[in-house]
Structures are given as C-alpha cells and as structure tokens.
Amino acid sequence: MSRMRTGLFARKLLRRFGMEPVAQEAGRHRLPDPPGQNEGVAASSASPEPTDNPGASQVNRSRPAVEFVLPEDPNDLVVHMSGVGVRRGRSTLLDRLDWAVELDERWVVLGPNGAGKTTLLRIAAAELHPTSGVAHVLGERLGRTDVFELRPRIGFASAALAARVPADETVRDLVLSAGYAVVGRWREHYDEIDAERAEELMKALGVAHLADRAYGTLSEGERKRTLIARSLMTDPELLLMDEPAAGLDLGGREDLVGRLSMLAKDPDAPAIVLVTHHVEEIPPGFTNALLLRDGRAVAAGPIDDVLTAENLSATFGEDLLLEQWGERYFARRR
C-alpha cells in the first residue's frame, strides 16, 4: 500500500488544469540504503558552490547585518538560520547569515556568481550542514535530526540534481522515484496511487506527453518542468528551486514564469524559495527577496522594499536601473 500523499495544494493545482486528483491519502517512502543513489549527499563530503568570482572569499566585513523580526509562533517558521557560516579552506561561502522563511512566504534569492546562493539553498534542503551558526529546517535543527527523514518533506529542483539523472531515465520514472528520494529506478515498489499522482503532476506541468521519453532527449525547458513535477511529488512542506529558468529561451522562460506565478499565488502552496541571477525571472506573486553578495545579506524583506536600484547596484557591483511593469521587474546598466 502506498504512503505517498495528495495534499491540498496538489488537488487544487490539478483541478485548475481540469483534472481530478487521486482521492486516497498517502505519505512518503523511505528506501533503506540504495546503492549510492540518494539525492542528498553527506554534509562532510559536500562540495562548495562553484564560483567564477575571484572576490568570493573576500567578504565585506563592514556591511551591517540584516535583521529579521521573527513571528510570535515559532511553528510559522519553515527555515530559520542564525549566524550561519560555511567555510571551505580559506574561502567563506556564507558569513554569519541570519534568515527566516515563514509558512506563507515566497522568497527570491538574488546575487552574482559566488554570492553563496546555492550554498544557502543546500542548507535549506538539508544537504549541507553549516560550519558555524544554527540552522533549523521544518522545525528540525540540522546536526540533531535524521536528514534522511527530513529531506522527503522538501521539494528540491536544482542543476546538481539534473546532472545526476541518467540520460536513459524516463520522465515517468524520474517523477515517480521522488517518493524514495532516488534517481534511477532500482528495487523500489510503487502502487497505483503513486503512478496516478505522477501522471497528474506531469499533466499539470505540461510534460505528460513526454512520459516515456528519455530524460537525455528532452529540451532544457522540458527538463526544468519535469524536475519541478518531481519536486512536488511528495507534496512537500518547502519547495526550493535553484535557477529554474537558467538556459531557457524567451518562450520557455515566460511559460515557466507563468506556471511558477500560479504556484506562488496559491495560498495552499508550500513555502517557496527560488534562486536566480535575473530580476526578469521573478514570478509575480513572490512576496520577499534576499540579496546576497560575498556570502552576506545586502538586503532582505518584503520584495517591494528590497528590490531597488540602489540595493541591486550594491549586490551586483554595477550602476543599475530597475524598472517595474505590472508585477514584473527589469534591470539594466545605466
């Protein structure tokens, strides 16, 4: 009997596309000791975020810390980082970062290459432990909880995951296997409810017609939508997306931004954190922004307060203009 569940958000998403959801309730699978195919990696062996920014290790220590006002009810927090730092050798990837994400918030994290965005996301995904400071994810303190039990509660779509997907893995199997947090079908058993849920999510993300196609034959946009469908398979409490629009053409980007906007505006969707380099990729409906440079926060808070030309210029080290048309943002150099 399956333990994969169909949550309120998933049911509403499917109905918006004119489909009836699977009625049964279910939970999340746990596969003991698959041979080297866990999505997560041990924190002790995790590699740092790649960077082509030669100044990434030269943190600006004089920048004042960004302060957060925490909610009265700690249960409203899905991510809470206090004084979090990550160091690799002489490089500081994150430096004394404070950050909090609440249940109903949708965050965009912006910054140049080497700013620490992916490192931050990997901590939130329970894939990496901080070198210093304290990080709580979904009420669990990293270092004092079983991350293999925690990770299935988190949906994570990233380039690192995409790189681990076997080229011959079918779209259906890639989405379905999220229940066991593995890539590449192995010895897992799936019930009919799992197959039906995977089919529904593929339809909702526009990849159902590709179900039997090998992942390696997909376009970049098709791969991105497939990974997002996979990230929603376990009905996560926290959804993380690392540069989901990277590499897409204009049409593919706008299609994805539209789908993510619908997701962000649904009050029953999970808390969302999206990493990007470009303000043009911020979907309407996102509520908060965190700007990172050299591993520290330049600004954080409500998106309308944080996304200013001054803050963007400080973040990217360029004199930038910022324009807003409706709910979309556009930036260029002066």
The whole model's pTM is what? 0.78
Q: What is the pLDDT of residue 288?
A: 97
CA–CA separation, 111 and 99 (whole Å): 15
CA–CA separation, 36 and 165 (whole Å): 13
Q: Tell me what percent of the chain is helix, strand and coil, each rounded to the nearest 5.
A: 30, 25, 45
Domain containing residue 158: 8-23+149-333
Q: Residue 75: inside a domain, yes or no?
A: no
Q: Residue 192: inside a domain, yes or no?
A: yes
Q: What is the pLDDT of residue 37?
A: 38
Q: What CATH number does the domain containing 303 carry?
A: 3.40.50.300
pLDDT in tens, 6-31: 444 555 555 544 544 444 333 343 33
Q: What is the pLDDT of residue 155?
A: 93
Structural domains of the chain, count = 1
Q: Residue 308: inside a domain, yes or no?
A: yes
- Going by pLDDT thresholds of 50, 70 and 90, the confidence category of residue 280 is very high
Contacts of 45 (CB under 8 A, 6+ apart): none
pLDDT in tens, 62-80: 444 566 666 666 678 999 9
- 114 to 80, 118, 204, 302: CA distances (angstroms): 22, 9, 34, 24
pLDDT in tens, 208-243: 999 999 999 999 999 999 999 999 998 999 999 999
Task: Return the SS3 of 132.
Answer: strand
CB under 8 Å, gap of 24 or more: what pairs does 183-186 form?
A: 183/37, 183/39, 184/37, 186/31, 186/34, 186/35, 186/37
CA–CA separation, 152 and 155 (whole Å): 7
- 243 to 63, 71, 277, 332: CA distances (angstroms): 26, 28, 8, 19
Q: Residue 303: inside a domain, yes or no?
A: yes
Q: Residue 217: inside a domain, yes or no?
A: yes
Q: Can you give the C-alpha Rg of the chain in angstroms?
A: 19
Q: Residue 94: inside a domain, yes or no?
A: no
Output 39 or 167, whichever has higher pLDDT: 167
Q: Residue 101: inside a domain, yes or no?
A: no
Q: Residue 144: inside a domain, yes or no?
A: no
